[in-house]
Amino acid sequence: MDFPEDLKYTKEHEWIKIEDTMATIGITDHAQDSLGDIVYLELPREGAKVIKDEPFGVVESVKSVSDLCSPASGSVVEVNDALVDSPEVINDDPYGEAWMIKVEIGNPGDLDDVLSAEEYQKYIEEEK
């Protein structure tokens, strides 16, 4: 299981890379591993508003369907449309090519409760 140190994590198993007021969001290695083979992905359109802790999309695997929850509120400025056509990339490269959306963060305080790599790893171990 991979936990890149330069990312932050949520208890809903999304990762977030923060650069100034821009956030790149995807799902974690743990999430894709738990889901199994991903076969479908639904993402918002560019310009859509996302709300902290609310669903912004759906990921479907051979095992289940799960909501994707935003770790921060803001406006979607970019969508990884290639991922919608090839959702299996999430299983191969969850922290690289499988980023899902980029969001202009509306309230930096939304990020006060995200977890460090170490905190997220501990959270996963406790969850088992």
- Contacts for 25 with CB less than 8 Å, ≥ 6 apart: 14, 15, 16, 17, 56, 70, 71, 99, 100, 101, 102, 103
- Percent of the chain topping pLDDT 90: 95
User: What's the mean per-residue pLDDT of the chain?
Assistant: 95
- pTM exceeding 0.85: yes
Please say whether the beta carbons of 71 and 106 come within 8 A. no
Side-chain half-sphere of 86: how many Cα atoms within 13 Å?
9
- Whether residue 7 is predicted with pLDDT greater than 80 in this model: the reply is yes
- DSSP symbol at 90: H
Tens-place pLDDT, residues 45-100:
999 999 999 999 999 999 899 999 999 999 999 999 999 999 999 999 999 999 99
Domains of the chain and CATH, by start? 8-120 (2.40.50.100)
Are residues 35 and 64 in contact, defined by beta-carbon separation less than 8 angstroms?
yes
Confidence (pLDDT) at 28: 97
Across 10-32, average pLDDT: 96
